[in-house]
Amino acid sequence: MNDYSKLIFEKSFVNGEWINESDSKFEVINPFDLSVIGQVYNDDRLLVKKAIDVAHSAFKTWKKTSVKERSILMMKWYDLIVQNKIEIATIMTLESGKPFAESLGEIDYGANYIQWFAEEAKRNYGDVIPGFTSEKRIMVLKEPVGVVGAITPWNFPIAMITRKIAPALAVGCTVVIRPSEETPLTALAINYLAHEAGFPKGVINTVVGTNASEMGKELCENLKVSKISFTGSTTVGKILMQQCSDSLKKLSLELGGNAPFIVFEDADLDLAVKGAISGKFRFSGQTCVCVNRILVQENVYDAFVEKFTAAAKNLKLGNGLDSETQIGPLINQKAIDRMQEMIQDATSKGGEIKLGGNFVTPQFFEPTIIANANSEMLFAKNEIFGPIAPIFKFKTEEEAIEMANDTIYGLASYFYTKDLNRTWRVREALEYGIVGINDGLISSEMVPFGGVKQSGQGREGSKYGMDYYLDLKYICIGNVE
């Protein structure tokens, strides 16, 4: 195996140094075999506060650096991540169970945000507005908001960090990252590479620890933090919003989803099956844009179920480090319990298991297909976040749209059709931030990622991504003679 150990660090990184305030440690577990792959100092609120102080003071100089200076540093960081891709992917697979090819893909995806915003930073234009009286001159400037707190989940250990901090750094903000306790090692490795790239002390800080709620409180309540950017569950998003209300802190939230995947009778069924396989089973279904409910029109229902089951049968379970593996382990026991509860619930309400349905020791779950799904079942309303694919039947386009929108979530949605008029009608009717038409893979640094309803607020990536880390300052020059 490659020498990934050179990028293993087991302490928080604050002010350009590895640091621990706490003496206790927590274990980072490989979900494939439950072995311990790291012992990380378990820091808490105190160190978060220290990191915020440091980031606050670094902001005073970082915001004054030229955009070219920041862009060059970001490009160096991008290069280092790409150069160390194999090592970082190994660490990522070890701590998350993600199949290695997917880890490599995520590193490109995550690094691309850095590259994109390094370029985009140069186009952070303001405006000149005509004076509203003849002697006035008016400008609008864009300024960095200040210190940004980034709270991130385990399912994309790099990309969820870079998607937040790349635009923040590009416009001149400094950051304090609190990564998931499940995947702290990948986060620390990329913070180290940022340091190697030459980012000044205090600009990028990562604090690791298991006390998510207290660490989150410090980030939300500390007046030196101007903005929180969070990716995770809707439940935690709501807590953070409440905690930020006292200081009216800016907030970007990328929360849960319940993605419908609609297959109309005129769809190319093979294409739809291919899309459903990747959209459902990527990272064992553990992403917020993963397909949650497959809705199939009645006259192609049986054919779709048959083809989809045949394709899913071939998915190979195993160690993420094994190049053949397509389905790795689930992240933790809680995830296994949720799968079992959902399957029990579905079968007790008439669901028919077409494939899988079983837990595999120590922490796998078989790709599972459930036909005859209905709106009473748990996954109709809840995010699955695992390899269960429930298939619902519908009669008309109107019914499909109603079913698709019948959720509190509004992140990703997908539909398959060859009818041009239908593509427009359905796209307009879907209450989602993202609509994939005849396509199951929709993420890129070049597009605005985010949801409506209780899937969150704000967008990440694209030309819009920097706006969420900027304040507008309107300048009025009067009495010009």
Q: How far is the CB of 161 from ligand ADP (least distance, A)?
A: 11
Question: In which region does residue 475 sit, left (phi positive, over 0), alpha (psi from -120 to 50) or beta (all else)?
Answer: beta
Instruction: Give the Cα separation of 137 and 71 in Å (integer).
Output: 31
Tokens (6 digits) for 467: 């706006």
239 binds ligand ADP (CB under 6 A): yes
How many residues lie near ligand ADP (CB under 6 A)?
12
Tokens (6 digits) for 234: 């809707």
Q: Which is nearer to ligand ADP, 37 or 429 (CB)?
A: 37
Q: How far is the CB of 211 from ligand ADP (least distance, A)?
A: 9
From 46-54, 135-143, 147-155, 429-437, give the range in contact with ligand ADP by CB under 6 A: 147-155
Tokens (6 digits) for 334: 């809680």
181 binds ligand ADP (CB under 6 A): yes
From the list 173, 220, 244, 288, the catalytic residue is 288
Q: Are strands 204-206 and 291-297 parallel, antiparallel or unpaired?
A: unpaired
236, 263, 296, 305: which one binds ligand ADP (CB under 6 A): 236
Put the strands of the sheet holding 352-355 in their side by side order: 352-355, 368-373, 388-394, 291-297, 259-263, 412-416, 434-437
From the list 254, 366, 445, 460, the catalytic residue is 254
Active site residue 220: no
**Could you give the angle at the alpha carbon of 243 between the alpha carbons of 240 and 245, nearest 5°?**
110
Interface residues for ligand ADP in 204-233 (CB under 6 A)?
Answer: 212-213, 216, 232-233
Q: How far is the CB of 187 from ligand ADP (least distance, A)?
A: 10
151 binds ligand ADP (CB under 6 A): yes
46 binds ligand ADP (CB under 6 A): no
The helix/strand/coil state of 269 is helix
Q: Which is nearer to ligand ADP, 90 or 152 (CB)?
A: 152
The helix/strand/coil state of 432 is coil
386 binds ligand ADP (CB under 6 A): no
188 binds ligand ADP (CB under 6 A): no
Task: Give me the amino acid identity at 53.
Answer: D
Q: How far is the CB of 236 from ligand ADP (least distance, A)?
A: 3
Residue of this chain nearest to ligand ADP (CB atom): 216
Task: Give me the amino acid identity at 184.
Answer: P
Contact 368, 313 (CB under 8 A): no
Tokens (6 digits) for 441: 């893979």
Q: DSSP alpha helices (H): ranges in 122-208?
A: 159-171, 184-197
Active site residue 288: yes
180, 372, 455, 462: which one binds ligand ADP (CB under 6 A): 180
Q: Which is nearer to ligand ADP, 151 or 197 (CB)?
A: 151
153, 440, 456, 461: which one binds ligand ADP (CB under 6 A): 153
Q: Which is nearer to ligand ADP, 57 or 332 (CB)?
A: 332
Q: Which is nearer to ligand ADP, 71 or 205 (CB)?
A: 205
Instruction: Give the Cα separation of 96 and 154 in Å (integer).
Output: 7
157 binds ligand ADP (CB under 6 A): no
Q: Are strands 388-394 and 368-373 parallel, antiparallel or unpaired?
A: parallel
285 binds ligand ADP (CB under 6 A): no
Q: DSSP alpha helices (H): ranges in 126-183?
A: 159-171
Q: How far is the CB of 229 from ligand ADP (least distance, A)?
A: 12
Q: Which is nearer to ligand ADP, 146 or 153 (CB)?
A: 153
For residue 281, which phi and psi values (nearest 5 degrees)? -100, 0
Contact 436, 412 (CB under 8 A): yes
Instruction: Give the Cα separation of 408 and 404 in Å (integer).
Output: 11
241 binds ligand ADP (CB under 6 A): no
- Residues carrying an active site annotation: 254, 288
Residues that bind ligand ADP (CB under 6 A): 151-153, 180-181, 212-213, 216, 232-233, 236, 239
